[in-house]
Amino acid sequence: MKLSKRIVLTVIVLISCVGCDQVTKSVAQSFLSETEVWSFCGDVVRLQVAHNHGAFLGLGSSFPENLRDGLFSLGVAGMLVFLLGYILFSKSASPSSILAYTLLLAGGLGNLIDRLIYGGYVVDFINIGIGPIRTGVFNLADVVVVVGALLLITGMPRANKRLSER
Whether 100 is in a domain gets the answer yes
Whether 39 is in a domain gets the answer no
Q: Give yes or no for a contact between 107 and 142, defined as CB atoms under 8 angstroms apart.
A: yes
Whether 123 is in a domain gets the answer yes
Whether 155 is in a domain gets the answer yes
Whether 161 is in a domain gets the answer yes
Whether 144 is in a domain gets the answer yes
Assess whether 69 carries a catalytic annotation: no
Pairwise CA distance, residues 33 & 10, whole Å: 34
Whether 25 is in a domain gets the answer no
- Structural domain of residue 96, as residue ranges? 3-9+48-55+63-165
* Per-residue pLDDT, 88: 96
Assess whether 43 carries a catalytic annotation: no
Whether 125 is in a domain gets the answer yes
Pairwise CA distance, residues 37 & 161, whole Å: 47
* Per-residue pLDDT, 70: 87
Which member of 21, 43, 69, 142 is catalytic?
A: 142
Pairwise CA distance, residues 100 & 156, whole Å: 11
Tens digit of pLDDT at every position of the chain (166 positions): 899 999 999 999 999 999 999 999 999 999 999 999 999 999 999 999 999 998 877 788 888 888 888 889 999 999 999 999 999 999 988 999 999 999 999 999 999 999 999 999 999 999 999 989 999 999 999 999 999 999 999 986 665 555 455 5
* Per-residue pLDDT, 163: 47
Which member of 21, 43, 114, 124 is catalytic?
A: 124
- Show the beta-strand stretches assigned E in 66-117: none
User: How many domains, the chain?
Assistant: 1
